[in-house]
A and B are shown apart, each in its own frame.
Chain A
Amino acid sequence: MKARVYVTLKKSVFDPQGHTIHDALHGMGYASVAGVRQGKFFELDLGQVDSAELARKTAEEIAHRVLANPVIEAYRVEIES
């Protein structure tokens, strides 16, 4: 079973990379773009897992323990059915 994990800086945390990309988009003429947040995307192949529930539990544990730093980052897990 596969899981997708999205990691982004928390909304309350300033994102210097997203800010720089936002500025660049304005410079390129995309004047209406109101904001950019940069993050990371992980595709986990969890191998044989009995249920989507267990897959989610495992992926969330991995995200919490290593893929994201809970001090600055939030994560979201999707299970591919």
Chain B
Amino acid sequence: MRVGVVVFPGSNCDHDAYHVVKHVLSQEADFVWHKDSDLSGLDAVVLPGGFSYGDYLRTGAIARFSPVMGAVREFAATGRPMLGICNGFQILQEAGLLPGAMLRNASVKFLSQPVQVRVERTDTPVTAGLRTGEVLTMPIAHGDGNFYLPDGELDRLEGEGQIVFRYVSADGRLDAAANPNGSARAIAGVCNRARNVVGLMPHPERACEAELGSADGRRLFEALIRSVVAA
């Protein structure tokens, strides 16, 4: 399988994602520069974390007008899997490909720490084969990860089963103290209605080898590979 990693000016987790796909999981990986507009030949696309355009204006606000985004939109529309991590998630929100928007963390602090997230849905390309309720440990590193939607929209999201990951305590309970950034309903990750586009704030690509403190993130990439092979 071949995974494209989109590189925006200011992306800084692009090499981590490439490393995981290519060296940890022995799949093909390509960097795709944000001025390219060709995603043909790719089985899956990752929008990596970082600070595209320095987070000027708002996180993801300028990147979403990059030339590659037309092709990203078309790729998503074909139903092939797409994963937005941290800033990649924010870009997909700005582009309207994923719901919600990110407010500044409730603490107004940049947070860089491991968190626990609970798998809420297993019918997405990055959670297929995992168990609902399973708790994964991955790092977060963001200043704007406070997921927001109005209450009515949150109800709709719950109803449609679009909440994929929630911040929880180590034993898997919802707990205000385990919600690092104040996200509405402890939302750490969501998918689109078609369920092929997933975004999350934690960094699975930084948790794919035991040496890095957790290998839980690897399970998301393994699920992605299984989804492509099964398709």
Interface range on chain A (Cβ under 8 Å from partner): 10 to 19
How many inter-chain contacts with C-beta < 8 Å in the A-B complex?
34
Q: Out of B94, B100, B104, name the residue touching A17 (CB < 8 Å).
A: B104
The residues in B between 89 and 103 inclusive whose CB is less than 8 angstroms from any CB of A are 93-94, 100-101, 103
Check if A58 is an interface residue, CB within 8 A of chain B.
Answer: no
Closest chain-A Cβ to B208's Cβ sits at a distance in Å of 32
Check if B170 is an interface residue, CB within 8 A of chain A.
Answer: no
Chain B residues with CB under 8 A of A67: 57
Residue of A nearest to B65 (CB): A66
Q: Which of A8-16, A27-35, A48-56 contacts B (4 or more CB under 8 A)?
A: A8-16
Check if B105 is an interface residue, CB within 8 A of chain A.
Answer: yes
* Chain B interface, >50% SS class: loop
Check if B71 is an interface residue, CB within 8 A of chain A.
Answer: no
Closest chain-B Cβ to A65's Cβ sits at a distance in Å of 9
Q: How far is the CA of A72 from the CA of B103 in the complex (A)?
A: 8
B103 adjacent to A14 (CB under 8 Å): yes
User: Hey, which bits of chain B sit against chain A, CB under 8 A?
Assistant: 57-58, 61-62, 65, 93-94, 100-101, 103-108, 146, 148-150, 182
Closest chain-B Cβ to A44's Cβ sits at a distance in Å of 13
Chain A residues with CB under 8 A of B58: 69
Chain B residues with CB under 8 A of A72: 101, 103, 148
Most buried by B among A13, A71, A72: A71
Q: How far is the CA of A14 from the CA of B93 in the complex (A)?
A: 19
Q: Out of B61, B103, B107, name the residue touching A13 (CB < 8 Å).
A: B103
The 5 lowest CB-CB distance pairs between A and B, nearest first, are A71-B101, A72-B101, A16-B104, A16-B108, A20-B108
Q: How far is the CA of A9 from the CA of B58 in the complex (A)?
A: 12
Q: How far is the CA of A67 from the CA of B61 in the complex (A)?
A: 8
Chain B residues with CB under 8 A of A66: 57, 61-62, 65
Q: A16-B146, A16-B182 are in contact. List 14 more A-B contacts (CB 8 A).
A: A14-B103, A16-B104, A16-B106, A16-B107, A16-B108, A17-B108, A66-B61, A69-B61, A69-B101, A71-B93, A71-B100, A71-B148, A72-B101, A72-B103
Closest chain-A Cβ to B176's Cβ sits at a distance in Å of 14
The residues in A between 1 and 50 inclusive whose CB is less than 8 angstroms from any CB of B are 9, 12-14, 16-17, 20
Q: How far is the CA of A67 from the CA of B146 in the complex (A)?
A: 20
Chain A residues with CB under 8 A of B104: 16-17
The residues in A between 56 and 81 inclusive whose CB is less than 8 angstroms from any CB of B are 66-67, 69, 71-72
Most buried by B among A13, A66, A67: A66
Closest chain-B Cβ to A49's Cβ sits at a distance in Å of 22
Q: How far is the CA of A25 from the CA of B61 in the complex (A)?
A: 31
Closest chain-A Cβ to B3's Cβ sits at a distance in Å of 29
Q: How far is the CA of A66 from the CA of B146 in the complex (A)?
A: 20
Q: How far is the CA of A17 from the CA of B105 in the complex (A)?
A: 9
A13 adjacent to B146 (CB under 8 Å): no
